[in-house]
Chain A
Amino acid sequence: MGEKQTLGEVEHHVLLATVRLGATASYTAAIVEELESVTGREVAPAAVYIALRRLEESGLAESEMRPPAEGGRPRRYFRPTAAGRTLMAESRRRFEALWSGLEPGWGDG
């Protein structure tokens, strides 16, 4: 639903993870691990796999096949496109705008 206008939560997380990992390490398995270690929750690898394909299809992410720097078989590395980065920024702005009115410390407990 409305996948063109906004980012779904999973897509948003996945894009963030690719940025955090950097262009040299953002392959699917690494993204799964990154999401798990940062959020502390288990992540379904298939969800990440599907999200990456959808992002690529809708032009929000792009990928490149290349061997890793340390050698071995080629892997597909993902990163957000300009359109993807714009959407991420918008998403973030909306969240921060919504959070900014709240009392400090709300929801922490």
Chain B
Amino acid sequence: MAEERHAERAGPPEALRRRMWRRLPSADREVAMEELDDLWHLRRDRLGVEAADRWYRRELLRFPARLWTERVRRGWAAAIRSAWTMGQGGGGVDALIRDFRYALRRLGRSRGFSAVAILSLALGIGANTAMFSVVNAVLLVDPPFRDGDQLVDLYTSDLSGTLYGTWSHPDILDLEERSEGVFSGVAASRTFVAAVGEATSPEVVVGEAVTANHFEVLGVPMHLGRAFGPEEDGPIDSAPVAILNHGTWLREFGGDPRAIGRPWRINGLDYEIVGVAPEWYTGSFPAFRTGAFVPMNMIRRVMGQEENPLEARGNRGTFVRARRAEGVSVDQANAWLESFSLGMSETYPETNEDRRYTAIATQDILVHPLVDGALVPVAGFLMAIVALVLLIACMNLASFLLARAEQRRREIAVRLSLGAGRSGLIRQLLVETVLLSTLGGLGGLALARGAVDALLKVRPPIPVPLNLDISLDLRVLLFTLGVSVAAGIVFGLVPALQATRPRLAGTLRDESGAVTRGRSRLRGVLVTAQVSLSVVLLVGSGLFLRSLLEAQSADPGVYTGEGAVIWPQLDLSGLTEEEGIAYWAELEERLRGTPGITHVGYTDMMPLGFGVQTTGLRIPGVESNRPDGRIDIDYAWTSPGYFTTMEVPVLSGRGFEDGDGEGERIALVSRAFERAYFPGGAVGRTVDGPGGERRIVGVVADTKVRTIGEDPRPRLYLPDGESYREARQVVTRGTGSSGEILRATVDVALAIDPRVVLMDRRTLDEHFDVHLFPPRMAALLLSIFGGLALLLAAVGIWGVVQHSVAQRTREVGLRVSLGATGGSVIRLMVGSGMRVVAFGVAVGLVLAAGAGTLVAGFLYGVRPLDPVTFIGIPLLLIVVSLGAAWFPARRAAAIDPMKALRTE
């Protein structure tokens, strides 16, 4: 009756039905579609076609959403139930042991696959744990200061140089006096380098001279003994006491508590040890280790200076850390510092005009505001690389588990039909996944330990002991393990759950064909992603390798052959100025007379070290953006012998001669200096700075100064006979090998005066290696990780081709029986793998082009889209992939058609 009237349409609109079909979970589709059709009919009969369509349209969203929610709920419920059953004792433990042994047996049976999965995980987890542990230890650890969020670092600047400069002691006293109510405590510290121990075998340590309230303001309790007290804030030189760093105490006194009260020699004076700092406190700057602390009033003695550096308002070099008073925010502290700045400007116009002060929360600073800017991108870059490796490793695990799940569908079906319980099956799969991840995690732990140890061996070439007590970070280990277990569950357990779930209603149609195809496609996608990520990493390593080669072959403009550099520190050695002057003269003379040594030169700033030294120079007619009209120019004090030793030719005018510096103030400039400031010729012109007006007497050739990649840089050379220098770098050349020259140089330097401390003694090769450190590290790390990625991707490709060979056994058998040759079968199988690779390479090149422009700033002499790299890397990948696909494909060619056709 009603049906007759509405016979114009037999069901919901086809377009809507198709949309519904696509949205429903595949297992429910057929049944649910029928139910929905039924409902539409009933509604149409009651309310008409339009209302029924409207209703159907509403259900498009609601119905599938509820079904999906239900599926997820069921999955979790099953997982929780099986975990619960596992957690219960009695028979549960027996079953667990049984599952465990079964899982071990299964992993053992497919040893190759298991090894690949475990190794992949171990590499991913290990690389991440190691890298994060290092980054964390260097950058992210907040020392456990008492109420550390109250601490601020205070910087000063006159805007001519860095914004984050250090303080002079008189300024700090003013700050302390005027800042009541803003800061509850102001602690100051000054870093020094000193020789400790006996004169015959002195050792160099970095120490800190600190105000007596240092440990109290920071909230650092002593490990042993006491902190400095008010009695140590007395007049200069009055308190020869010391607090040792925990590590120094262990090294020097074997952790003996009786070290308290014992004497310890610093720069020839005995200090009484009064305390030992806690293990976590290694000084004011994270990542650097302060070996010992002495009271601020000992600064003159530890630095071996004549003048008291605490008296001059212009003598800056003291670092200030303060504790904010209750209720004072960082912004309020900065606002107050603004007014403090005005007051100081007025009171001390000669020294403090335009001097600004800044407070930054200690916790917001990693190392130093200036260093942080460079460190954070580098650390982020490294973490991104290892994250990529973890991603690739997880893809291998996923690929592995997908393949297993497929094999397992049949096994599970059989076991279910023999009456096995679902929860038992799920539990067993869970055990296997967790076992796999745990083995991977253990491997990762071992790898991470090894990697951290290896990383620690690579020390940046700076003459300061780094804080290198790096322990593995448990949180990262757990995190990466969690990621891999999650990957295991998603890719291993979900297919398993699907396999064990009884069909919701009716329809026991076998859909394994469709599912298998879906999974193969998923594995293909995984391999594509692996290949493309590998391309990114490999292109990166290629770019940095090329960059390294360019840097190595670049001409620094100075002599880089056999030779040596030493760096005597006469002030640290306790020599007076008189003794020092005599020492330098004798050193040069005796070195010249030493057989095998042909050249000797002095400078205070070797090019291409890590240091930068500039001076404010006023050049007539040249504009500057500094308020005092000066321009920052790189400079060095040098002896006449330096230019011949380093082979820097004089281009016009004259070079330095003996006796220069005694009369008129003169200077040499580099070619780039002349070109920039005196295009008409620099010889004879004058500049103002350091020490007053100077006449330029000559122009020398350009050399690289700070980095090998820089454009020719204006540089000023000053004659070092002009004033006494406490420390100089001594460069020697000779007829023997670098090692022989170095030994001879050191012998002479110490023979003249055994007290002399050598901060540095290395061959010229070693010195010039310094500037290759960053590109070398980048190339090394990227090559390791790129290689790993390539290996993992090759394994992935091998797995996919292997699998498709196993699946297409019948087809191949048929082809062979119809006359296909072995070669054509191999081509067929390899081709199926290479399509995936080709796509991955294409995607990877696009990503790599993007990544390349991101790292362009780190490259030297190579464009981010370097054609050699962008052609070479894909070729490498394709060759490796061909190899990986070849092995399983060869097996396909060996298929016996008769056997293949008999297998079902």
Contact = CB atoms under 8 A, between A and B. Distances in A.
Contact of B505 (A30, A32, A63, A73): A63
B42 interface: yes
A75 B66 contact: no
A99 interface: no
Contacts of A49: 32, 35, 63, 67
A44 B506 contact: no
B818 interface: no
Given A44-B62, A45-B63, A50 B39 contact: no
A45 B59 contact: yes
A93 interface: no
A29 B67 contact: no
B66 A53 contact: no
Interface in B48-68: 59, 62-67
A33 B505 CA distance: 21
Given A28-B35, A29-B35, A53-B504, A44 B66 contact: yes
Contacts of B63: 44-46, 49
Counting chain B CB atoms within 10 Å of each CB, which of A32, A44, A50 scores highest?
A50
A76 B505 contact: yes
A41 to B, nearest CB: 15
Interface in B773-798: none
A46 B505 contact: no
B828 interface: no
Contacts of B70: 50
Interface residues of A, number: 20
**Chain B contact patch, size range:** 20 to 34
A21 interface: no
A108 B236 CA distance: 94
A33 B36 CA distance: 12
B766 interface: no
For the residues of B in contact with A, the DSSP-based class is: helix
Contact of A45 (B36, B65, B505, B506): B36
A57 B42 CA distance: 27
Contacts of B41: 29
Contacts of B66: 44, 46-47, 50
Nearest to B71: A50
A46 B506 contact: no
Nearest to B65: A46
A30 B41 CA distance: 10
Interface in A14-49: 27-30, 32-33, 44-47, 49
Contacts of B647: none
B35 A53 contact: no
Nearest to A57: B502
A30 B42 contact: yes
B688 interface: no
B628 interface: no
Given A28-B35, A53-B504, A76-B506, A46 B67 contact: yes
B38 interface: yes
A45 B39 contact: yes
A78 to B, nearest CB: 10
Given A49-B35, A50-B66, A33 B42 contact: yes
A47 B506 CA distance: 19
A33 B47 CA distance: 12
A75 B67 contact: no
B512 to A, nearest CB: 22
Contacts of A57: 502
A31 B505 CA distance: 17
A65 interface: yes
Contacts of A47: 66
B505 A29 contact: no
Nearest to B39: A29
B39 A32 contact: yes
Contact of A29 (B38, B64, B502, B504): B38
A89 B226 CA distance: 80
A29 B31 CA distance: 12
B416 to A, nearest CB: 14
Interface string A49-80: 11001001100000101000000010110000
A87 to B, nearest CB: 20
Contacts of A27: 35, 38
A50 B506 CA distance: 14
Contacts of A32: 39, 42
Contacts of B32: 49
Contact of B42 (A29, A44, A65): A29
Contact of B67 (A33, A50, A65, A73): A50
A100 to B, nearest CB: 36
Nearest to B32: A49
B38 A28 contact: yes
B505 A53 contact: yes
B255 to A, nearest CB: 58
Nearest to B24: A46
Nearest to B31: A76
Given A30-B38, A44-B66, A50-B66, 11 more contacts: A33-B39, A33-B42, A46-B63, A46-B65, A46-B66, A47-B66, A49-B35, A50-B67, A53-B504, A56-B505, A76-B506
12 contacts: A28-B39, A29-B38, A32-B39, A33-B39, A33-B42, A33-B46, A47-B66, A49-B32, A49-B35, A50-B67, A56-B505, A63-B505
For the complex of A and B, 10 pairs with smallest distance between CB atoms: A29-B38, A46-B66, A29-B39, A28-B35, A46-B63, A50-B70, A33-B42, A53-B504, A29-B42, A45-B39
Interface of B: 31-32, 34-36, 38-39, 41-42, 46, 59, 62-67, 70, 502, 504-506
Interface of A: 27-30, 32-33, 44-47, 49-50, 53, 56-57, 63, 65, 73, 75-76
